[in-house]
Structure 1
Amino acid sequence: MRDFQSPGRSPARSTDAMAATSHPLSTLAALDILRAGGNAMDAAICAAAVQAVVEPQSTGIGGDCFALYCPNGSDEVIAFNGSGRAPQGATIDAYRAKGLTEVPRHGPHAVTVPGAIDGWCQLLADHGRLDMAAVLAPAIHYAEHGYVVHDRVAFDWKATQDALAADPHSARIFLPGGQAPSAGDLHRQPELAETLRTIAKNGRAGFYEGPVAEDMVARLQELGGVHTMQDFADTKGDYVTPIAADYRGVRVHQVPPNNQGLTALVMFNLMARHDLTGLDPMGVDKLHLEVEAGRLAFHQRNTRMADPAASAGVVEELLSNAFTDRLAAEMDPTRAMDHLPDADLAMSDTVYISIVDSDRNAVSFINSTYYAFGSAVTAPKSGVVLQNRGHSFKLDPDHPNAIAPGKRPLHTIMPGMVTGAGKALMPFGVMGGDYQPFGHVHVLTNLLDHGMDIQEAIDCPRVFHEKGAVVAETGVPEQTVQGLKARGHKVIAADAPHGGAQAIWIDWDKGTLTGGSDPRKDGLALGY
């Protein structure tokens, strides 16, 4: 129970339905859809569409999505991979012929074909109740009539001004008057409103064929990209078999590679070897274990996880008891490991959405353009900001994540789902690029090992391992920082928050829902 004399907020609590997102307008739109007779999937896609407008630095229809779905509150977990692929002309030789030694962060060569709209269309048709016009209506309204820029959105937006300024169409739309909007400013995206109307009318064909696709392809080709209309027409997301690990009496589910969710499961298996209940959740013992488990798991991610065709057998091996034993033997509870290379991790932007409806359909949904404003390339007529997921690819032909025609890149965004006793228990997710596996472990161990409520578990200060150091948020106690240093860690102060999170817990005995949303973002959880 939180200290009511200290800053913070209580979790959201309700009986019928709940939505938790990183933006107030998204949460409100999801609740409106639920109250109008839509279900959790309708609400999730509506929320994602709204955020594609009002959080343009974090997500968009030029990005990708993943989803985990438990129908009617069962422990049947349906997983969907809505990540796009490299264009057919994307070969190592073609990129090297352009003088590239790595896939750049910005520009056309970082752009994989967006998978989000195909994913929305498939998921809505298979699991929703409403049509695309109904779920896109709020997003169309905000794009056409304008929305107020919220504080965290403005913070991230200003940090990306230089990249936006380098593209004339991005600058025209997203730097009005030559500057990023400030918190409280009104911003409109009329081109995007028309594109969303086209998708509402024509479905996936409105995006992957015809004028919208022609606009995206023409802009990419103008900049030297190898994308074609056929690459867009061929885009198709897939239902996949989810992967899972047991932790403290529940089962934690993730999307399999090319998703990085396996990284979190490796971490959970390592953390399960330790009794955390007697540890201070913000103490040196707990955070040292979290960091070291993460370093080991990320080494496996960086060297072995990729498109499923390039990483056959990896899931089974990395989740095996024998493999966990081998990794666990490398950890020293009293000293930082000194034999691992730096994982070269970084933060990036995403939106995560958690929805539970009155039938207890539970959706864990995530949508992103990767780094802030993705590739920073905007198609001029359609207003679509194109993602930069190709930046994850390697130009090393021996690496499992080497770029190749039609290949999916290793992906950071990862929805989570917790089940137990034959029921869905909690759709949850943590944003923040590479940070996300750390975040899944941090939030769930706070909840399950340390007895925090959902909001406390999300609020709790975080550490991450990047740039060869433990990066600590300002709330990490100084005593813990010094203790980590004494164990051989380099510790530096974070210059920005580590990600964000949302979650909704289903209490089947009480018939209630409890949700939380991260104060590191602008959003909230609300139910009725």
Structure 2
Amino acid sequence: VFLDEAGNPPVSPEQASPARLRQPDLAQTLETIAAEGPRAFYEGALAAVMVAHLADSGAPVVAADFAAYEARVVEPLAVRYAGHEVVTVGGGTGGTTLAQSLLLMDALGVGALGHNTPEALHRLAQAFRKAFADRFAWLADPEFVEVPLTVLTDAAYAAERAAGFQADRLGPVAAGSPDRVGVGHGLGGSMPGYAAAAANGGQMADGSTTHLSVIDKDGLAVSLTQTLLSGWGSRVTVPGTGILLNNGMMWFDPEPGRPNSVAGGKTPLSNMAPALLLRDGNVIASIGSSGGRRIMNCHAQLVANLLDHGLGAGEALAAPRIDASTPELLASVRLPEATRRALAALGHRVAPRDERLFTGDFASPCAVLRAGDGTLTGAADPFYFPASAVGMV
């Protein structure tokens, strides 16, 4: 489906520009959905073909599973940061972790410490680690598990989590106890031991994730992320349809009895965190990225770059970043060596990484900004050649 007759991908010898990739099966699939509506994918002939192929492959999926699927339309999650509203997705997504990270950054006073200074980065890393500890301890599909979303995304809880911050060293990081905070609603009891699974959660860098940010002349905005998870998803294409199947099952926690454990009909905890930035109710930016668990740290730093430091779209995306979603603190080699040494002296296990090699160590973002006069500016990751920004009149 994706290779030429010689078994090679359709690119030029110089790898500079792609050749035309014809996908007639996928074109017919899209024509069918356009003519019959989205339910054709879940209940029509397309569903029958996919169910048959999955059955032939040994998967325990039946037609009723496809027919029962419904996309969820939910209220967005909004938090305040630097006098603006950041709107993202909630529930068992990266949006909840992004929102909590921003509240922790605000509680730790990150914005007042300068751009990418050791002091600011130290606090950023601590904010990210605390948000991730709570992520793996508490987040899951809210249709199956009671999740303390109101508390996790409340400024009072962030202030409590930030209270133990140590400016002169890297302190211990553990999940908080939102079930014991008098904000909104919480859980009836804690879930001990789940924070230990943090190191096992999530994909390092989604290989088949695409993000699209759009703002039109009237200020209508979209921030859209979709993914197959790993590169080429499950690497299975349903014959005759052009449809690649995802491998999103790996987003679940394999251990039973935990919030994100596997269950029929359950949606796994995902990394995606598309976001819009609003000033006085008007959209000023649409941001998003691919990059697995790196997405959330990336977006928090983009928000800080735009709102705390006044960077433009291109500058905000190109600025060197850190990532604290794993035990090591990944730090761009473009950060000054003195900054990286200062972080190491504070106790961080600093691991220099060169995002220009696109090794998947950092997310790959894009953004569209809208100025007060309606001028639109777009930018894409300068270190990832498939990323692009386009203006249309």
Alignment TM class, shorter chain as reference: 0.7 to 0.9
Query: Hey, what does 2:364 align to over in structure 1?
Result: 500
1:328-347 to structure 2, matched below 5 A, reads: 328-340=162-174, 343-344=199-200, 346-347=204-205
Q: 1:471 aligns with which of 330, 336, 345?
A: 330
- Whether the 8 Å contact between 2:369 and 2:378 is mirrored in structure 1 is yes
Change (3 A) 1:318 1:339: closer
- Whether the 8 Å contact between 2:367 and 2:379 is mirrored in structure 1 is yes
Change (3 A) 1:294 1:197: same
Q: What are the Cα deviations for residues 126-180 of structure 1, in whole angstroms up to 9, with x where unaligned? A: xxxxxxxxxxxxxxxxxxxxxxxxxxxxxxxxxxxxxxxxxxxxxx535763444
2:355 maps to 1:526: no
- Whether the 8 Å contact between 2:286 and 2:368 is mirrored in structure 1 is yes
Q: What are the Cα deviations for residues 52-103 of structure 1, in whole angstroms up to 9, with x where unaligned? A: xxxxxxxxxxxxxxxxxxxxxxxxxxxxxxxxxxxxxxxxxxxxxxxxxxxx
* Distance apart, 1:229 and its partner CA: 1.6
Change (3 A) 1:317 1:311: farther
Q: What are the Cα deviations for residues 458-487 of structure 1, in whole angstroms up to 9, with x where unaligned? A: 111122125521122332222222122111
Which piece of structure 1 moves more, 380-389 or 217-226? 217-226
- Whether the 8 Å contact between 1:354 and 1:365 is mirrored in structure 2 is yes
Letter aligned with residue 429 of structure 1: G
Letter aligned with residue 368 of structure 2: I
Change (3 A) 1:337 1:220: farther
- Whether the 8 Å contact between 1:243 and 1:262 is mirrored in structure 2 is yes
What value does the CA root-mean-square deviation take over the aligned residues?
2.1
Letter aligned with residue 383 of structure 1: G
2:242 maps to 1:379: no
The two structures have a TM-score, normalised by structure 2, of 0.84
Q: What are the Cα deviations for residues 266-305 of structure 1, in whole angstroms up to 9, with x where unaligned? A: 1111111244455342332222222111111011111111
SS in 1 for 2:140: coil
2:318 maps to 1:459: yes
Distance 1:197 1:203 in 2: 10
* Distance apart, 1:233 and its partner CA: 1.9
SS in 2 for 1:400: coil
- Whether the 8 Å contact between 1:282 and 1:477 is mirrored in structure 2 is no
Query: Hey, what does 2:57 align to over in structure 1?
Result: 223
Q: What are the Cα deviations for residues 388-442 of structure 1, in whole angstroms up to 9, with x where unaligned? A: 1111112333211111111111111121011221322222213211111101111
Change (3 A) 1:347 1:353: same
- Whether the 8 Å contact between 2:219 and 2:282 is mirrored in structure 1 is no
> Structure 1: which 5+ runs fail to align?
1-171
Greater relative contact order, per chain length (Cα 8 Å cut-off, separation 6+)? 1
* Distance apart, 1:367 and its partner CA: 1.3
The two structures have a TM-score, normalised by structure 1, of 0.63
Change (3 A) 1:175 1:405: farther
Letter aligned with residue 271 of structure 2: T
Letter aligned with residue 502 of structure 1: C
SS in 1 for 2:143: helix
> Structure 2: which 5+ runs fail to align?
175-195, 354-358
* Distance apart, 1:201 and its partner CA: 1.9
Query: Hey, what does 1:273 align to over in structure 2?
Result: 107
Which piece of structure 1 moves more, 377-386 or 394-403? 394-403
* Distance apart, 1:214 and its partner CA: 2.2
Structure 1 runs of 4+ aligned residues shifted over 6 Å read none
Task: Tell me the number of residue pairs that the alignment of Structure 1 and Structure 2 aligns.
Answer: 356
Distance 2:107 2:4 in 1: 50
Give the structure with the larger helix fraction: 1
Q: What are the Cα deviations for residues 107-138 of structure 1, in whole angstroms up to 9, with x where unaligned? A: xxxxxxxxxxxxxxxxxxxxxxxxxxxxxxxx
Distance 2:22 2:324 in 1: 38
- Whether the 8 Å contact between 1:261 and 1:414 is mirrored in structure 2 is yes
Distance 1:291 1:364 in 2: 26
